A and B are shown apart, each in its own frame.
Chain A
Amino acid sequence: MSELSELYQQVILDHNKKPRNFRKLETANHSAEGYNPLCGDQLTIYINLEDDQVKEVGFEGSGCAISKAAASMMTQAVKGKSKEQVEHLFQEFHSMVMGELNEETEENSLGNLKIFAGVREFPVRVKCATLPWHTLHAALNKEAQVSTE
């Protein structure tokens, strides 16, 4: 079960159990809803964007451990970053879980998001990890709804 323990690492399980920033932001000026029809994962991302900087971010919804932990850790990672930095991080995260970026040997700013590298061994679960990011991207760019079908 080594690949499995790569996927369900303690940090991921912890974020699943106690998701951070798991709340609706009443003051949000950007939000979007994400949906994965394959498994029924559904989440809403709320952002307070000021001068192109993520001041505050929150999410709510229901989903599997991977999507919930990915959303939770994403909110921590993007807080305080500029829109451009967030988009860059999204690209790196996406490349990593698609197996296109080696997070150990290639330069990146993923930090503790590297923990999701194990997802690439589970191709059907990649969408679970990227759904929050796609939704965040949509919120930043004012698309109302995304689906990862």
Chain B
Amino acid sequence: MSAGTLITPDAPVSTTWPIERIRADFPVLQQTVNGKPLIYLDNSASSQVPQVVIDRGSIYLEQEHSNIHRGVHYLSQKATTAYEGAREKVKRFINARDVRECIFVRGATEGINLVMHSYGRKFIGAGDEIIISAMEHHANIVPWQMLCEEKGARLRVIPMNDAGELLIDEYDGLLNERTKLVAVMHVSNALGTINPIKDMIATAHKYGVPVLIDGAQAAPHMPIDMQDLDADFYVFSGHKMFAPTGSGVVYGKLELLEKMNPFQGGGDMIKTVTFEKTTYADPPNRFEAGTPAIASQIGLGAAIDYLNSIGREAAAAYEMELLRYATQKVSAIEGVRIIGTAKNKASVLSFVIDDIHPHDIGTILDQEGIAVRAGHHCAQPVMQRFKVPATARASFAFYNTKEEIDVLARTIERVIEIFS
């Protein structure tokens, strides 16, 4: 089944979601902020970490901490087993064909830069074209601009409509024999739009063009299946999917990874080194120079176990219900405008209020214990497209509640009152 079809506004209402038990899994949610219970609605920036993931990191640090892939000693073997075990979990999580297709990186940003350096610099040259979209995060714009500048290649941009949906006809028109790569996000962090990436990948493949998907906002919220999507590269971050910072993944088709250059040079990415010549290791090690964030990546493995244990589809359906509720509540407030009204959306609610800057909204919400993001969301072209300097963004996870959304809506009304 395609990932996008699971999460529609018409998804069945989940009445059995064990919200109290789920919330108890997240220690950070138990605190108060400014004397009010924390209402954490900044999940698109970083999501919170359940106790089982914290515990797994502690076990590593208390009992297994050592360097991987090196020592013959007991601890190094334990650490290596745990680290490679996490890679195996990632492989199953995204339904990769082969565990060697899963490269560990610090996060989605590093992942995109890896593909730019190792694939882009080798296979993209003067006069070639790279297609991105109008809603990309800076992480999926800037590396490609840098490459274009270096190589004399050209960046093409798929436009979007006022709802924040990509104009797919325009995309088809941009593809041609000069196109060497398509790089688009699965889910927009600023707008919530779920892009029809399966179809977009299939279209690119008709031209023989590989596709990179920035899945940073999708991986935490919907099942993702590499065999179904047929993505050539798919990157995501651990810290947005209930794991620690410093964890992340680049999925790449093995046949592509095998012909790519290394990313960084150093230990663990070589076969042999002499002063005359170095031969490189096979994927994934070729792309993992130096000692990685072992504890964080093991934590990512534990987060995957956690997501599987609570049920990804049920969690997604519950989040959809939260989004529907929040959209209804917040858009009913006079003077509030939702930015991003795509038919197919994930649990992101970006909004602006007439004559009130999002930064002021953010400060006032914070006083009530509500964490939202206020700013340009590292997507300045999106802000320019919608002619706003910034937005306030509430983004939901499966541990949020309708009661929290009620408080959000009440406090937004209070913001308007203060500024009236």
Contacts and interface: CB of A to CB of B under 8 A. Distances in A.
Interface of A: 1, 3-4, 7-8, 13, 16-17, 38-42, 62-66, 68, 122, 124-125, 128
A128 B375 CA distance: 13
Interface in B362-381: 363-364, 367, 374-376, 380
- Residue among B357, B367, B376, B418 facing the most chain A CB atoms (10 A cut-off): B357
B275 interface: no
- Of A4, A124, A128, the most chain B CB neighbours within 10 A belong to A4
Contacts of B380: 40
Contacts of A124: 363
A145 B376 CA distance: 20
B360 A66 contact: yes
Nearest to B380: A40
B363 A7 contact: yes
Contacts, number: 51
B178 interface: no
A13 B418 contact: yes
A38 B375 contact: yes
Interface SS of B by simple majority: helix
Contacts of A41: 359, 389
Contact of A39 (B358, B364, B367, B418): B358
A65 B375 contact: no
B367 A1 contact: yes
A64 B359 contact: yes
Contacts of B374: 39
A122 B376 contact: no
B418 A8 contact: yes
A66 B356 CA distance: 11
Given A13-B418, A62-B389, A122 B375 contact: no
A1 B355 CA distance: 22
A76 to B, nearest CB: 21
A13 B416 CA distance: 12
Given A17-B355, A63-B357, A65-B419, 12 more contacts: A1-B367, A4-B364, A4-B418, A13-B418, A13-B419, A40-B390, A41-B389, A63-B389, A64-B358, A64-B360, A66-B359, A66-B360
Given A40-B376, A40-B390, A62-B389, A4 B359 contact: no
A3 B383 CA distance: 31
Nearest to A16: B419
